[in-house]
Amino acid sequence: MTTAHGAIETPAFIPVGTQASVKAVSPRELRELEAQIILGNTYHLFVRPGIEVIRDFGGLHKFMNWNGPILTDSGGYQIFSLAKLRKITEEGAQFQNHVDGQPAFISPEIAMEIQAALGSDVAMVLDECAPYPCEYDYAARSAQMTARWAARCKRAVEANASPARTMSPANLNAAAGTVAATTVNQLLFGIVQGATFDDLRKSSAQAIADLDFDGYAIGGVSVGEPEEEMMRAVESAEPCLPKDRPRYAMGLGTPPQLLEMTARGMDMFDCVLPTRLARNGTAFTASGTINLKNAEFALDKKPIEEDCSCPSCREFARGYIRHLVKAEEILGLRLITLHNLHFYLALMNRARTEIERGTFDQFRRGFVMEYKVRDVDLAKL
């Protein structure tokens, strides 16, 4: 996938930089980890520091000093999961933010304007993410509204990118510092909804595909449903999506889930697991997660994972990292975060190699068999 800030090889993992920072990690470290793209959460940035601040800095790349590709979500998911007193109508979403309770309103058009100001390389349409479990009727109406919102997002972007508006110096001046100035080359992805209902997933995928986006996301997965339901939701939607566009499974997942989703035609993944679990002392290994707080690691001279080439494993022993975590030293969660991000990024790197070699399925089956998923990790999602 080609973006204004560089190409991305897929399948790709997208580290989550919610508040213009991948938690505990510097942009330089992200480059050293060879992260290809990172994610910024529009809702969080809208609330703090506010879009005017980031616009004033010339966009999110300059604000946070990350010169690689950035994907921003639309803010929809966070409005539904974090904000208070929210009211959703056909027009958009009214809410009070979770930080200082200020009321705000985001419509599909405003979501596009905000992401244009952020200047991300990939923008997402505003969608409604149905909860789990969800009644069929609600899921159907919600998916239909999400499709209408997607069409409005597309029209809003096209209106701003129309030759009449972007080519005229007068209009360019009028738009300076607002939308048009930063939407050049921004890709726009549609989002499929439909909860856990096969026919809704299919009709949603078809409706979104008909709108012709640069890429397609599967939303409303990994919201508490059993893994089989998640797999089925993706399997239902996938055949309706154009084969020549990137597909993005939102908010996923465990390492085995990423490989299973790759096998089902998904190309991009974002997930807080590697950074969030690190802050709890949990590290990823090929055989599953380990919690470095455990007493068994107190005298352990081995790195988190043998033969791992990450900055933590090259320099530090489990016993030292355990001490740091127990003593609540920031360096502890920094070292585990670096390892976990490396683990996810290296897994996708390996998947790409195996796909090229035509040996991906064999690799996936072997990995999934060796990897023990622990319930406690899923509870952290």
Q: How many Å apart are CA 324 and CA 281, to the nearest integer?
A: 9
Stretch that binds a copy of itself, among 126-134, 168-176, 202-210, 296-304 (CB under 8 A): 296-304
Candidates 301, 306, 307, 309; binder of a copy of itself (CB under 8 A) is 301
Tell me how far, at minimum, the Cβ of 333 lies from a copy of itself, in Å: 8
Candidates 258, 333, 341, 351; binder of a copy of itself (CB under 8 A) is 333
Positions marked catalytic: 73, 270
Q: Is 43 in the site for a copy of itself (CB under 8 A)?
A: no
Q: Is 64 in the site for a copy of itself (CB under 8 A)?
A: yes
Burial 266-302 (b: 16+ CB within 10 A, else e): bbbbbbbbbbbbbbbbbbbbeeebbbbeeeebeebee
The SS3 of residue 342 is helix
The count of residues interacting with a copy of itself (CB under 8 A) is: 39
Please, which residues bridge with residue 3 across strands?
6
Candidates 7, 174, 299, 376; binder of a copy of itself (CB under 8 A) is 299
The answer to whether residues 278 and 331 touch, using CB atoms and an 8 Å cutoff, is no
Q: Is 323 in the site for a copy of itself (CB under 8 A)?
A: yes
Q: Is 8 in the site for a copy of itself (CB under 8 A)?
A: no
Q: Is 296 in the site for a copy of itself (CB under 8 A)?
A: no
Tell me how far, at minimum, the Cβ of 63 lies from a copy of itself, in Å: 6
Judge if the upstream peptide bond of residue 163 is cis by omega within 30 degrees of 0. Answer: no
Q: Is 48 in the site for a copy of itself (CB under 8 A)?
A: yes
How many of the other CB atoms lie within 10 Å of CB of 323? 15
Q: Is 269 in the site for a copy of itself (CB under 8 A)?
A: no
Tell me how far, at minimum, the Cβ of 106 lies from a copy of itself, in Å: 20
Q: Is 316 in the site for a copy of itself (CB under 8 A)?
A: yes
CA dihedral (154, 155, 160, 165) positive or negative: positive
Strands 288-291 and 282-285: antiparallel
Choose between 22 and 252: whose C-beta lies nearer to a copy of itself: 22
- Tell me which DSSP letter residue 86 carries: E
Tell me how far, at minimum, the Cβ of 4 lies from a copy of itself, in Å: 21
Q: Is 310 in the site for a copy of itself (CB under 8 A)?
A: no
- Tell me which DSSP letter residue 262 carries: H
Candidates 13, 23, 153, 360; binder of a copy of itself (CB under 8 A) is 23
Please, which residues bridge with residue 38 across strands?
70
Query: Which residue has tokens 């409604």?
Result: 128
Q: How many Å apart are CA 143 and CA 128, to the nearest integer?
A: 7
Choose between 59 and 108: whose C-beta lies nearer to a copy of itself: 59
Stretch that binds a copy of itself, among 13-21, 33-41, 149-157, 343-351 (CB under 8 A): 13-21
Position 131: which residue type?
P
Choose between 245 and 334: whose C-beta lies nearer to a copy of itself: 334
Beta-strand (E) ranges in the chain? 2-3, 6-7, 12-14, 38-40, 70-72, 84-88, 93-96, 103-106, 122-124, 187-192, 215-218, 247-249, 268-270, 282-285, 288-291
Stretch that binds a copy of itself, among 59-67, 155-163, 219-227, 237-245 (CB under 8 A): 59-67
Q: Is 82 in the site for a copy of itself (CB under 8 A)?
A: no
Positions touching a copy of itself (CB under 8 A) are: 19-21, 23-28, 44, 48-49, 53, 56-57, 63-65, 298-299, 301, 311, 315-317, 319-320, 322-324, 326-327, 329-335
